[in-house]
Amino acid sequence: MAETTYRICTLPGDGIGPEIMEQAERLLEAVSKAFGVTFDCERQLIGGAAIDATRAAGEKVTALPPATLSAAQAADAVLLAAVGGPRWDDPTPGAVRPEQGLLAIRKNLGLYLNLRPVRIYDALRDASPLRPERLDGVDLLIVRELTGGLYFGRHERQVDVEGAGRDGTKGQTAIDTLEYAEFEIERVLRWAYEAAARRSKVVTSVDKANVLETSRLWREVNHRLNAEFEDVEGEDMLVDNCAMQLVANPAQFDVLVTENTFGDILSDEASMLTGSLGMLASASLGDGAALYEPSHGSAPDIAGKGVANPIAQILSVELMLRYSFQMDEAADAVAGAVEDVLAAGWRTADLADGTTDASHLLGTAAMGDKILEAFALRAGSREA
């Protein structure tokens, strides 16, 4: 029987991007061998690298060349590293910037949902700003609506408005519109319920229904889905309470789902539970190919030095296996391998602290080697 083949568009981008992407590609090869699937990877340019290449070729300068977009659209999934750097920080109005490539690819792929897992690694508990005992059992998934709400509503400034100035004189007013259609709410909540059904079966839907009409509609849709998914426990939580609960008792959450603005803020708050930027992966999903990327940037300060932490990129592969290819067993082996390597005391410089043994300090490729070894053991013991 022919092996399943998945097409992956890889976008190393700028700074440390190519270094950490190399480790992800090596891992994909190992997954392919261990699990009998083929990954057909195609590298393309994005960000500053694309700006330089299109300029050098005398083409229209862009951070997202047409060839990159077609490859991403034709792929089953897109794996991105990071874009940007001071080299492309051109203050000239209208200058093409690396980040435009990111925004354009997200828009063109129709990605309407972002997810960020927050998992605590025992070995890194001390990196968290919370007391270690508060972190017991923390393993949550934040699902954020990505294309609606305040950020995409009408933004308007009015001048010379009677009574808007100081002391009741004329002044300015500013208006941002918060609007959600029922289908936009439902597709995100449905995804959250389906994900929870495969996890610990609890969905916390976060809103501000005591004040906002959009939140009342959000809550109605949540109740409807809760009735539909009988084996998943659904609850509503006000966003102010949720912000507090995330630091007071983060282990109570399994899948936390919310609208765009609340999700933006809560996902950054929750990511700090892990205390380490180099460990966080994220996924953006839509109707077509999904996009997987680390939460950190291109780290130009350490680019080319071979010291970047590849784990967030490797955990982006874990998410891809889980959510685009339904390869949960392979994804578990990747997550387990990262856990094993950290538990054995291996660290990249960003994860090191006063207790780190100097002989356990690794560069990017050496950390990749350790994770591949641990993955081989995990994947091998599956067959035994």
Q: Which residues bind ligand NAD (CB under 6 A)?
A: 16, 82-85, 99, 102, 277-278, 293, 296-302, 308-309, 312, 350
Give min distance, CB of 195 to ligand NAD, in A.
23
Single out the residue of 2, 1, 22, 27 nearest to residue 12, CA to CA: 22
Q: How far is the CB of 43 from ligand NAD (least distance, A)?
A: 16
Nearer residue to ligand NAD within complex by CB, 143 or 362:
362
CB atoms within 10 A of CB 63: 28
CA distance 43 to 50: 12
Provide the H-helix boundaries in the chain. 17-35, 48-56, 66-74, 98-108, 182-197, 213-228, 239-248, 260-271, 311-323, 328-343, 364-383
Complex with ligand NAD: residue 296 or 378, whichever CB lies closer: 296
Q: How far is the CB of 353 from ligand NAD (least distance, A)?
A: 14
Catalytic residues, by residue number, are 151, 208, 240, 264, 268
Nearer to ligand NAD, 80 or 289 (CB): 80
Q: State the minimum distance, in angstroms, from the CB of residue 153 to ligand NAD.
A: 24
Separation CA 234–CA 240 (nearest Å): 18
Rounded Cα gap, residues 338 and 370, in angstroms: 9
Q: Which is nearer to ligand NAD, 83 or 379 (CB)?
A: 83
Helix, strand or coil for residue 220? helix
Nearer to ligand NAD, 10 or 298 (CB): 298
Question: Given CA atoms 309, 342, 370, 317 in this order, what sign does their dihedral have?
Answer: negative
Q: Strand, helix or coil at 11?
A: strand
CB of 285 to ligand NAD, least distance (A): 16
Of 342, 352, 347, the residue nearest 362 (C-alpha): 347
